[in-house]
Amino acid sequence: MASTEAARKGTSIMRKPIIAGNWKMNKTPSQTVKLVEEIKALVKNARCEVVVCPTQTCLFAAREALMGSNDISLGAQNMFFEEKGAFTGEVSYESLLELGVKYVILGHSERRQFFAETDETVNKKVLKAIEKKLIPIVCVGESLTQKQQGVTEEVVRMQTRIALSGVSAGSVEDVVIAYEPIWAIGTGMTATSSEANDTIRRIRGAVTEMYTPEAAQKVRILYGGSMNAGNARELLSTSDIDGGLIGGASLKSEDFAQIVGSLN
């Protein structure tokens, strides 16, 4: 397996791909159990890491439904950086850890847009997640206006640099980055594979500047934004896209399984 993936990426460094489902604010606990069970039945011996990220209130149900599966990991959609206290409505890393959560999505554009997340709060969360041994999936991406203004590279570089500020050289390879152009999220407008791959190479370039080329080669960078069963194979066959963060298509078990299968 190591050699196949190394060959796929054309490098001596192996980056195990990740397919993560971001369920957003969808599914009740009972519906979560049903979807997890369907996915469990369809996804076996995947050649990538498979992650499902239900809503916070459904994590317990998802964990119970995932029992006995070594194929699928649990992820959360957000986390606060303080341990506990007067932070009404927030979710602590301790709770996530106790629920068996392994990954946590941080700085999703919907959280930046609707819940006032900033590059600085994302950075605090990234540092705390690493300290607590949760794997952050840090989202970066430009808006349609920024794309039209031709500043995509500047935007993703800045978001990446701030998100990783203070992350040690020894820890950076455990961070996962998701490039999610905002104009492609939930719109059906996917970035072309070369467009997405090119921006991801620039994000990797920003990581290289902060660390070393070797460290940057180990960081997994996913693409997200209308990835689906029809376009996944092409996006995932590029040199630098190391998996997907899937929204809408992750709510349909067969589509999600097909995306996972496109890496086989």
| Residue among 211, 144, 140 at smallest CA distance from 174 | 211
Q: How far is the CB of 85 from ligand PGA (least distance, A)?
A: 29
Can you tell me the distance from the alpha carbon of 111 to that of 102, in angstroms, rounded to the nearest whole number? Answer: 20
Closest CB to ligand PGA among 185 and 219?
Answer: 185
Residues 241-260 contacting ligand PGA, CB under 6 A: 245-249
Chosen residue from 77, 226, 231, 238 binding ligand PGA by CB under 6 A: 226
Concatenated DSSP letters of 169-180: TTTGGG-EEEE-
Which region among 43-51, 64-72, 218-226, 229-237 touches ligand PGA (by CB under 6 A)?
Answer: 218-226
Amino acid of residue 119 = D
Q: Which is catalytic among the residues 108, 110, 117, 142? A: 108
Contact 47, 263 (CB under 8 A): yes
Burial class (CB in 10 A: 0-12, 13-18, 19+), 236: buried
Helices (H) and strands (E) in the chain, counts: 12, 8
SS3 content of the chain, % helix, strand, coil (to 5): 45, 15, 40
Concerning whether 180 is annotated as a catalytic residue, the answer is yes
Which region among 57-65, 156-164, 166-174, 220-228 touches ligand PGA (by CB under 6 A)?
Answer: 220-228
Closest CB to ligand PGA among 136 and 248?
Answer: 248
Which positions from 143 to 182 touch ligand PGA by CB under 6 A, shown as an x/- string? -------------------------------------x--
Classify residue 78 by its DSSP letter. -
Q: Which is catalytic among the residues 49, 110, 117, 180? A: 180
Q: Please give the size of the binding site for ligand PGA, defined by CB under 6 A.
A: 13
The sign of the torsion formed by the CA atoms of 226, 230, 236, 238 equals: negative
227 binds ligand PGA (CB under 6 A): yes
Chosen residue from 5, 15, 19, 22 binding ligand PGA by CB under 6 A: 22
225 binds ligand PGA (CB under 6 A): yes
Concerning whether 154 is annotated as a catalytic residue, the answer is no
Can you tell me the distance from the alpha carbon of 142 to that of 160, in angstroms, rounded to the nearest whole number? Answer: 12
Burial class (CB in 10 A: 0-12, 13-18, 19+), 84: exposed
Classify residue 238 by its DSSP letter. S
185 binds ligand PGA (CB under 6 A): yes
Residues that bind ligand PGA in the complex, under the rule CB under 6 A: 22, 180, 185-186, 224-227, 245-249
Query: Which positions are catalytic?
Result: 108, 180
